[in-house]
Amino acid sequence: NAGVTQTPKFQVLKTGQSMTLQCAQDMNHEYMSWYRQDPGMGLRLIHYSVGAGITDQGEVPNGYNVSRSTTEDFPLRLLSAAPSQTSVYFCASSYSAGGLYNEQFFGPGTRLTVL
Amino acid sequence: DQQVKQNSPSLSVQEGRISILNCDYTNSMFDYFLWYKKYPAEGPTFLISISSIKDKNEDGRFTVFLNKSAKHLSLHIVPSQPGDSAVYFCAASAVNDYKLSFGAGTTVTVRA
């Protein structure tokens, strides 16, 4: 199993550009999410999905869109990039919600710089 | 407002000694707590967890203690090894809730 994969690993954008961060998992997990990591802030939840066709907002959703057309894929779209979106982005998935099975598996991350 | 707080940004410990990482939370609905370890340029990896019905969980060199009345948990690493040098995140979730709330992380450096 590849686990959770993310592409690209690095990306530089200019302000106003749009792009999609890709995330895929091969563990048949129902739950997937996107986090951003900023210095001194830990990981903050952007959007999450509890299954194909179902998405919801997390703590910091503004400026980002997601969709979940398949169980495996959960892309994150930046609509119009801003310098404040410079961050490291992590995708994660888990088998279930809450409790014993809420161990989330993380991808290796995408480091995004917006100039 | 952060519901999970790690007030020590960094910790330096000598190899072979104990590392103690602390975490406080404010949401009384949290019932499951996890610790993640993160190396540079990698994603976080699950380390150990504890349910609110327990006050201690042990896995090899790692032990997590939970004090629900104080809304406090700690991670003990004994003995500390150079490979333990990493950022450690405390996380928590509420009953049947997929979402995890993370602390800001503590960077552990193990000195030879």
Q: Which chain B residue is nearest to residue A105, measuring alpha carbons? A: B45
**Other Cβ atoms within 10 Å of B39 Cβ, number:** 12
Distance from CA of A16 to the nearest CA of B (A): 27
Q: Which of B4, B42, B97 sits opposite A108 (nearest CB)?
A: B42
pLDDT tens-place string over residues A46-55: 999 999 999 9
The pLDDT of residue B96:
74
Which pLDDT belongs to residue A16? 97
Contacts of B104 in chain A (CB under 8 A): 40-42
For B4-42, what is each residue's pLDDT tens digit? 999 999 999 999 999 999 999 999 999 999 999 999 999
Selection from A82, A91, A88, A78 nearest residue A38 by Cα: A88
Residue pLDDT, tens place only, A7-37: 999 999 999 999 999 999 999 999 999 999 9
**Chain B touched by A103 (CB under 8 Å):** yes
| Alpha-carbon gap, residue A6 to A84, rounded angstroms | 21
| pLDDT at residue number A98 | 56
User: Tokens 């699950």 identify what position?
Assistant: B46
- Cβ atoms A87, A109 nearer than 8 A: no
Cis-peptide, bond into residue A61, ω within 30° of zero = no
pLDDT tens digit string along B57-112? 999 999 999 999 999 999 999 999 999 999 999 999 987 777 889 999 999 999 99
Residue A58 in contact with partner chain B when CB distance is under 8 A = yes
- Confidence tier at A95 by pLDDT (50, 70, 90): confident
Name B108's Cβ contacts closer than 8 Å, sequence gap at least 6: B10, B11, B12, B13, B19, B21, B77, B80, B84, B85, B86, B87, B88
Cβ <8 Å between A98 and B98: yes
